Structure 1
């Protein structure tokens, strides 16, 4: 686990992201979410499809303008209107790896130009030879050969394309990488390769990750701390051990109980817990953050907390 420094690299406080559909209806994609990411650590954000995971990632990197809340990155408030200097800092120090490795790469550009685009925009080289050398070095770091720089995205497999996406994020030497379900489109064996590559790069460079996924076993493997998201609300957060050993919220318990077990004898006896928000009697909007132990927090009312932790 990454050693936590006293100051978080990213601090999200009361983030709200609403999308107005028409004059009568607004989608509350993210509602009052708060969490912190420390330098060099991996924060896993899990939840079912449509819970607001990707929206949080896009709001943090400012692809969306947050409806409300405060986002502090590396000591700077980036939640409001960005100055030119803040924009430059954000575009170099924070990068994103997208979910679909084919859709996120320009099919008309060679890999060398895809990876080097950030260097071109921010003038981070003096000669073309220096640019080529930087691209080849980062390709080598993600397990690709220098000759791959001359190819187009359609000439690669899915796993190789995702490595190109990782290389594009890494070449800027960012402090934070937002990995938006970057392994969900890959085969299981390739997923393991990509996640191991990300762990190796983190040890080498000290980059922090916001790892967005719905594969709990993979999140358990890569994350130092985990946040559980449902219907735009962050219900529970804590270290990987705290969440998996002692889940408090019924939704978290239902998620963990759904993980298949590799032992067929035990798997036969496994009973998955069911959870339906509509019939649960729980109102997320009334919940507040309660400390369970250490860094383990659960969002609920006082009565629910007393009932769940008795």
Structure 2
């Protein structure tokens, strides 16, 4: 579906910081001054290597972690500080998360019927048991599972089916935003395609937005409208999918894209990977600001760095 970038964003993250104090002398700065927006009906892909802070951002936004600093506005509400009862109610119903491991995120002692119905029970979203059962069967059908699957336990499903249960658990609350935290990384490639196509179909039908966290650039390119590139807790570059893949400006983004293998063996033979080492790059992520490259494309760096990278690229 076409995304209206003139509309009000469904999610605005401004200057988000998430620090973890390990000892009196050492603090891990997992996320440092990250800002981005997600619009209704949009899929925003967040990519980066392991340990870059992708999952931490998702967990901070949905308030599994209390942010160290920064502002998070969701659907017109400020959810960055202490949550009121109304804010908490809105957040727990209108924002949902699909976790990375479909086995670890599902209670092994509960049947699928009770896993899916837990949110309905907590927020009193049905009047009769028959209505509850109807809602559960409808959501199972939407994710490609049969009504009889409601009586099974998680261990009785394949990995792909378990992830469909995870998607159903998120969808049953009828959210406006779903945070998909590497939700396909534990699945086979063929199953990954099925799950991503299912997510796209549901988005077309309901108009919800996704924050799609992943390190598979090919899949991010397929599903995302815009992409943010994360490294060492800093958002280095953000733009539309076409802008990022056709015109990567930041050297880290170029190194990521150069690592994508080519399916054609002749092209793969001549492919050259670009190396990037932050320690020797001479770049300081704590200095500088976002520079607009036109449209939705923004790159983080000082004026001198941006000019240098642009000259190297062109």
- TM-score, length-scaled by structure 2: 0.98
* C-alpha distance in 2 between matches for 1:2 and 1:50: 32
Please list, as runs of the form range in 1=range in 2, the aligned pairs for 1:111-260 lying within 5 A after superposition.
111-260=112-261
* C-alpha distance in 2 between matches for 1:280 and 1:304: 11
SS at structure 2 position matched to 1:178:
strand
Please report how far the alpha carbon of residue 307 of structure 1 lies from its aligned counterpart in structure 2 after TM superposition: 1.0
Partner of 1:295: 296
SS at structure 1 position matched to 2:138:
helix
Structure 2 unaligned blocks of 5 or more: none
Bigger Cα displacement from structure 2, 281-290 vs 237-246: 281-290
Partner of 1:48: 49
Deviation per CA, 1:145-165, whole angstroms, max 9, x where unpaired?
Answer: 000000000000000000000
Deviation per CA, 1:17-74, whole angstroms, max 9, x where unpaired?
Answer: 0000000000000000000000000000000000000000000000000000000000
* C-alpha distance in 2 between matches for 1:2 and 1:75: 22
Instruction: State how many pairs are aligned.
Output: 310
Partner of 2:81: 80
Structure 1 unaligned blocks of 5 or more: none
* C-alpha distance in 2 between matches for 1:207 and 1:305: 35
Deviation per CA, 1:104-134, whole angstroms, max 9, x where unpaired?
Answer: 0000000000011100000000000000000
Please list, as runs of the form range in 1=range in 2, the aligned pairs for 1:248-287 lying within 5 A after superposition.
248-287=249-288
Partner of 1:8: 9
Post-superposition, which runs of at least 4 consecutive aligned residues in structure 1 deviate over 3 A?
A: none
- TM-score, length-scaled by structure 1: 0.99
* C-alpha distance in 2 between matches for 1:160 and 1:108: 17
* Contact 1:2 1:224 (8 Å CA) reproduced: no
* C-alpha distance in 2 between matches for 1:105 and 1:157: 13
* C-alpha distance in 1 between matches for 2:81 and 2:166: 28
* Contact 1:139 1:164 (8 Å CA) reproduced: yes
Bigger Cα displacement from structure 2, 5-14 vs 231-240: 5-14
Please report how far the alpha carbon of residue 258 of structure 1 lies from its aligned counterpart in structure 2 after TM superposition: 0.3
Please report how far the alpha carbon of residue 309 of structure 1 lies from its aligned counterpart in structure 2 after TM superposition: 1.9
Deviation per CA, 1:157-208, whole angstroms, max 9, x where unpaired?
Answer: 0000000000000000000000000000000000000000000000000010
